[in-house]
A and B are shown apart, each in its own frame.
Chain A
Amino acid sequence: MQEKTLMKGNEAIAEAAILAGCRHYFGYPITPQTEVAAYMAKKMPKIGGTFLQAESEIAAINMVYGVASTGKLAMTSSSSPGIALKAEGISYLAGADLPALIVNVQRGGPGLGGIQPSQSDYFLATRGPGHGDFHVLVLAPASVQEMADLTGKAFELAMKYRMPAMLLADGTMGQMMEPVVLPEPKEPAAQSPAWAAVGTECKRFHNVVNSLYLDPLTLEHTNFERFERYAAVERDETMWEEFLMEDAEICVVSCGITARVSRNAIVEARKRGIKVGMIRPITLWPFPKKPLQAAAEKVKSFLCVELNMGQMKEDVELAIRCKKPVDLCCRVGGMIPSPDEVLAKIIKANEQGG
């Protein structure tokens, strides 16, 4: 086991990616994730990897497509407006069934917005990371430790299911330092996967990496096949954490930094005798529907705590089929609710009952 060290969340992502065997990073600077690129710029040349600052976000994601086509781990990182620019490339990656890691350290929007923390790309990540019918894996870290752990996990799942993964963090997670135990290093895979376009050496047919299918029946088939894989991901890879849910009458649902804030509020509410717990989705796609459905049988109401106008609230309502009321506690634009604000909502929910 490696030693506990102090790292910024952004640095933990970069180091964890290298430890996972990633040797190809393409990016373009934007606050609040620039430390990822800065770390890669320092480290990659020393270990025979590639750090490339592209001319734009769009160029960077297409470079990722190129490396991913050869079956190697490739990544890019950006923040909200930069991720929007990458949407086309992400769709092409999905269409070509390529694994890749896209890191989004979210900031306030829409437009250029601001540079302070946000979770307003929830829809972008879980609904529309590009055109067409597809998903990307979406992982939402809530600590620097998870920034590292989920980076490795994202690569692993992306490769296993041949699909892009997005690490959906926020400015706070990127900028804060916490103790972290880094994972054991893995060497880049010596063998290319069977589908990789790495040259045939005249021993097999060509592998073609492509997202263009002019025959509708073939294209339909690729979509169906992809969604069969998605079903397996939903069945086997959904991740979440429960906190004080055993006897909870109110269920807070929150991810990332707001889950941390909510935790303080829940501890305080418990001191006042309010039975409240939390389900923290770790994967946002696949969304942890089952634990929420189970909670809906027991609790009186739900409270979503988010840095957006209630994007995840829709997923909670869908998951529980609107069986119980779902309230929202949110701040946006780079503001973060205080534990007191969350506590006030919990108290209100407790007074209202079901």
Chain B
Amino acid sequence: MEYQIVIAGFGGQGLLFSGKVLAYAALMEQRELSWLPSYGPEMRGGTANCNVIISDSPVGSPIVQNPNVLMVMNTPSLDKYEKSVAPGGKIFVDSSLVSRKVERTDVEVTYIPATKMAGDMGIPTLANMILLGAIVKATGCVGDEAVLAGLKKIVSAKHADLLDANLAAMQAGKDYLA
């Protein structure tokens, strides 16, 4: 199974970071992967996205054309990517920020009020990780142990407290699905 993942929203929501967590987790599992961010002025307050591919064979194009996993954290991103999702794909929507429902009927949609949940938990900047927790659980694209090992690579020892916050956020996302 090749996971073709698009993570999209506003710049500053931690989208590239979410993708990095998946990328590092895949690295820990010795799998093939690519991580491609959007770059340029759009990252500052405009829309931003990143493409992550996790595969068991070498990755061809790092550009995701038809994602089978889509995470959206604003309405413009849903507008932009909804049509591109592969039939049977999974869409994860931050329903605190996205004002409409997904129109496609041939995809699996999960609505999570991630931004509201993150605010209630006192970690308002980690809504991205709540969604990511749900993605990891629902798709099994990477394993829990690999996510932990990957997170440890990205979050420096200096910010060890943030590691716990990130894990708590991901757990909240998993629990929401249950």
Contacts and interface: CB of A to CB of B under 8 A. Distances in A.
Interface string A160-174: 000000000001100
B153 to A, nearest CB: 8
B61 A176 contact: no
Interface string A22-49: 0000000001100000000000000000
Contact of A178 (B33, B39, B61, B65): B33
A109 B20 CA distance: 30
Interface in B43-59: 59
B63 interface: yes
Contacts of B27: 4-6, 179
Interface in A142-177: 171-172, 175-177
A267 B23 CA distance: 24
Interface string B17-52: 000100110010010111111011000000000000
A264 interface: yes
A327 B65 CA distance: 24
Given A6-B23, A116-B40, A178 B60 contact: no
B63 A177 contact: no
Contacts, number: 60
A260 B60 contact: yes
B35 A177 contact: yes
A179 B60 contact: no
Nearest to A171: B39
A176 B23 CA distance: 11
Nearest to A178: B34
Interface of B: 20, 23-24, 27, 30, 32-37, 39-40, 59-63, 65
8 contacts: A4-B30, A31-B39, A172-B63, A177-B35, A178-B59, A178-B62, A338-B63, A339-B60
